[in-house]
Amino acid sequence: MSQLKKYRASCHCGEIQFEFECAPINQGCRCNCSICRRKGATMSDFYVEPEKFSFLKGKESLQRYQFGDHDVYHYFCKTCGIYPFHDGPAFPGKYRVNLGCVEDLNLDSLETRKIDGASF
């Protein structure tokens, strides 16, 4: 198993700050579903395990948005509107992270996998 690395991330205004541990990130994913294509975010290619994730600040600043069959909880910052991560009722607290929120991570250096969410 590869060494875990700690990453720190925040929304744009800084109300929401969090950190998580995972294998070094060298890949992201993008999805073509109705919400992801509007957000345009490069997301983590994995869900962070709840015990590897911690809020530093701003859990109360999260606003939750759901649509369709409601199987995903989409979060955004009440102040700046940025999407930091999402989870779902089947896996609460297990987040797929918006890699654009992560400090010291060059999105252009990542391999990007496509998720065909529009077909789900």
The first and second tokens of residue 87, run together, are: 């989870």
| Residue among 34 and 63 whose Cβ is closer to Zn ion | 63
Count of beta carbons in the 10 Å neighbourhood of residue 61: 19
Least Å from the CB of residue 57 to Zn ion: 10
Residue with tokens 């990453």, as numbered in its chain: 7
Least Å from the CB of residue 77 to Zn ion: 3
CB closest to Zn ion, residue no: 77
Helix (H) or strand (E) holding 100: none
Considering only residues 35 to 94 of the shown chain, the ones binding Zn ion according to CB under 5 A are 77, 79-80
Of 15-23, 34-42, 43-51, 105-113, the segment contacting Zn ion by CB under 5 A is: 15-23
Burial readout 4-19 (b: 16 or more C-beta within 10 A, e: otherwise) = eeebebbbeeebbbbb
| Residue among 15 and 45 whose Cβ is closer to Zn ion | 15
Question: Can you give the binding site for Zn ion, defined by CB under 5 A?
Answer: 11, 13, 15, 77, 79-80
